[in-house]
């Protein structure tokens, strides 16, 4: 094995075997899928208990027409029973008593709810909607306009925009802006986290080796450039390992969980390729479309492939800078001045990303997805919306080109820095190092 190979293997081995790596790698997807599953399960399940409500109806007509809701069941008391009697004679499982005023037709204000447990907005809303419905219908009837209800029902419309994007040949591809938004956000942010976390791992690694004086021993067998590249690539291998495991775990767990919690017809719709299913109305159509896109291999491949390409490029660029900083400073606390300089562009990229998500085609998006220091994050945010391939290509070339330049410069600082101890380093000093002949 070549020397760089040995160094990469050691870095990978040491890091992957760490407890913290194993825990975060396994737990993060579990938590992610678990949270999503929990939320959708809870919202599909609705309230966990049914509330029984005794209705004391003074108007004489509302109670009879109240329809039970999934979590609210109305029980009408006999006519003429006073609220006090209803209270005394209530059944054991009664949650509350609802008093509807005599003149509810003209004065909506007199509806009161007395509950034995904390009331929620949802319960009150369900009650309000039911009473309003009954009263409205009664009003329509009173004016001999019963027909109007039917007309109104017919008028109610739900519109879904099905979006397609056309390429030069006019072939259409299905797009979902909801999905693009979500993917942009998640992957852009993921990129930010990965570059920052793994980049600074390179820095702390170098500082540790320098303080341990291991580097003094290493440099007699290995060239400083090989050492630096070995560390950078080794940590990159760890990052790619973690990301790949996350993809596999999230997709695997996700598909199992989705099958369990989503309604059968929605899954069917997704499998059919997003064909709207009449039975599934409203947001479910959007949902089906998203599911169909996610399960489309080319879409997944673009996102994941793009992420890997830009992550590796962006990470390499920043890792080279972090390695140079690590070699120049004596301790993690000393590194602030330089570290800020390195992290600044990443943070700028993140800020730009939030703008780009809403306007993926604008000039801001275009330029910042070309500048090597910001392109990994900004381009990642643009990718889900579709980006012309040549823009991606130019951006990648610039990114990897910048990486080559940066490695060359970082290497010059690194080879001096790792053997320099107890000296407070300034920018002028760094510049001088770069000119040393080795």
Partner 1 sequence: MNPILRVEHVTKQFGDYTALDDVSLEVPRGQVYGLLGPNGAGKTTLIRIINRITAPDSGAVWFDDHLLAPEDVARIGYLPEERGLYKGMKVGEQAIYFARLKGLSRREAVSRLKEWFERFGIEEWWNKRVSELSKGMAQKVQFIVTVLHRPELLIFDEPFSGFDPVNANLLKEEMLALRDQGATIIFSTHNMASVEEVCDHITLINRSRNILTGRLEDIRREHGSNVYEVRFAGDSELLQQRLSQATTTIKLTAGVGDSTLRFKLNAESELRGVVGLINDAVDIRSLSEVIPSMNEIFINKVSQQGGVAE
Give the footprint of partner 1 on this chain (CB under 8 A): 1, 3, 6-7, 10, 14, 209, 212-214, 216-224, 419, 421, 432, 435-438
Based on DSSP, count helices (H) and strands (E) in the chain, helices before strands.
17, 6
Side-chain-side CA neighbours of residue 343 (13 Å)? 15
Q: Closer CB to partner 1, residue 10 or residue 45?
A: 10
Q: Closer CB to partner 1, residue 398 or residue 409?
A: 409
What torsion, rounded to 10 degrees, do the Cα atoms 115, 118, 122, 128 define? 30
What is the 3-state secondary structure of 290-339?
A: HHHHHCCHHHHHHHHHHHHHHHHHHHHHHHHHHHHHHHHCCCHHHHHHHH
H or E segment to which residue 95 belongs: strand 94-100
Q: How many CB atoms neighbour CB 415 within 10 A?
A: 20
Residue 165, strand partner residues: 173
CA–CA gap between residue 379 and residue 370 (Å, rounded)? 8
Alpha-carbon Rg for the chain, nearest whole angstrom, is 32
Tell me the closest approach of the beta carbon of residue 193 to partner 1, in angstroms: 24
Tell me the closest approach of the beta carbon of residue 295 to partner 1, in angstroms: 43
Q: What angle do CA 99, 105, 111 make, to 5 degrees?
A: 20
Tokens of 240: 């790619």
Asked whether 227 and 215 are in contact (CB, 8 A), the reply is yes
H or E segment to which residue 124 belongs: helix 121-142
Tell me the closest approach of the beta carbon of residue 370 to partner 1, in angstroms: 38
CA dihedral over 22, 26, 29, 31, signed as positive or negative: negative
Tell me the closest approach of the beta carbon of residue 7 to partner 1, in angstroms: 8
Asked whether 368 and 352 are in contact (CB, 8 A), the reply is yes
Tell me the closest approach of the beta carbon of residue 309 to partner 1, in angstroms: 31
Q: Closer CB to partner 1, residue 90 or residue 223?
A: 223
Tell me the closest approach of the beta carbon of residue 3 to partner 1, in angstroms: 6
Q: Closer CB to partner 1, residue 219 or residue 409?
A: 219
Q: Closer CB to partner 1, residue 1 or residue 171?
A: 1
Residue 110 neighbours by CB under 8 Å, 6+ apart: 100, 101, 102, 103, 104
Q: Closer CB to partner 1, residue 245 or residue 419?
A: 419
Q: Closer CB to partner 1, residue 424 or residue 435?
A: 435
Q: Closer CB to partner 1, residue 81 or residue 222?
A: 222
CA–CA gap between residue 270 and residue 294 (Å, rounded)? 9
Tell me the closest approach of the beta carbon of residue 6 to partner 1, in angstroms: 6
Q: Closer CB to partner 1, residue 424 or residue 437?
A: 437
Tell me the closest approach of the beta carbon of residue 375 to partner 1, in angstroms: 35
Tell me the closest approach of the beta carbon of residue 367 to partner 1, in angstroms: 39
């Amino acid at each position: 094995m070549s020397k760089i190979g040995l160094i990469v293997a050691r870095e990978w081995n040491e890091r992957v075997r760490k407890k913290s790596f194993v825990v975060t790698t396994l737990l993060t997807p579990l938590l992610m899928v678990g949270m999503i599953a929990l939320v959708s399960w809870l919202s599909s399940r609705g309230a966990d208990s049914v509330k029984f409500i005794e209705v004391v109806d003074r108007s004489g007509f509302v109670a009879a027409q109240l329809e039970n809701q999934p979590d609210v069941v109305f029980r009408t008391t006999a006519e003429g029973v006073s609220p006090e009697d209803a209270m005394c004679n209530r059944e054991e499982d009664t949650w509350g008593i609802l008093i509807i005023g005599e003149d509810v037709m003209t004065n909506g204000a007199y509806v009161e709810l007395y509950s034995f447990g904390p009331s929620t907005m949802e319960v009150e809303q369900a009650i309000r909607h039911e009473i309003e419905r009954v009263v409205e219908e009664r009003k329509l009837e009173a004016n001999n306009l019963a027909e109007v209800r039917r007309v109104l029902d017919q008028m109610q419309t739900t519109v879904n925009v099905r979006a397609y994007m056309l390429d030069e040949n006019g072939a259409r591809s299905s797009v979902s802006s909801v999905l693009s938004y979500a993917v942009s956000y998640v992957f852009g942010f993921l990129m930010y986290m990965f570059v920052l976390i793994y980049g600074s791992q390179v820095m702390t690694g170098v500082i540790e080796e320098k303080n341990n004086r291991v580097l003094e021993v290493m440099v007699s067998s290995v060239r400083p450039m090989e050492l630096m590249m070995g560390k950078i690539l080794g940590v990159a291998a760890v990052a790619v390992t973690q990301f790949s495991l996350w993809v596999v775990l999230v997709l695997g767990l996700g598909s199992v969980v989705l099958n369990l919690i989503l309604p059968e017809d929605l899954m069917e719709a997704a499998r059919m390729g997003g064909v709207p299913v009449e039975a599934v109305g409203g947001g479910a159509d959007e949902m089906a479309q998203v599911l169909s896109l996610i399960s489309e291999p080319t879409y997944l491949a673009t996102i994941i492939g793009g992420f890997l390409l830009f992550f590796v490029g962006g990470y390499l660029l920043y890792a080279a800078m972090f390695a140079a900083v690590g070699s120049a400073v004596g301790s993690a606390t000393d590194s602030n001045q330089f570290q800020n300089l390195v992290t600044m562009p990443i943070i700028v990229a993140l800020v730009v990303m939030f703008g780009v998500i809403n306007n993926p085609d604008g000039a801001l998006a275009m330029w910042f997805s070309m500048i090597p220091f910001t392109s990994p994050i900004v381009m990642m945010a643009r990718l889900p919306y579709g980006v012309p391939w040549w823009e991606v290509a130019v951006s990648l070339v610039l990114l990897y080109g910048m990486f080559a330049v940066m490695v060359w410069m970082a290497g010059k600082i690194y080879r001096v820095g790792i053997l320099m101890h107890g000296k407070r380093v300034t920018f002028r000093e760094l510049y001088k190092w770069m000119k040393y002949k080795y």
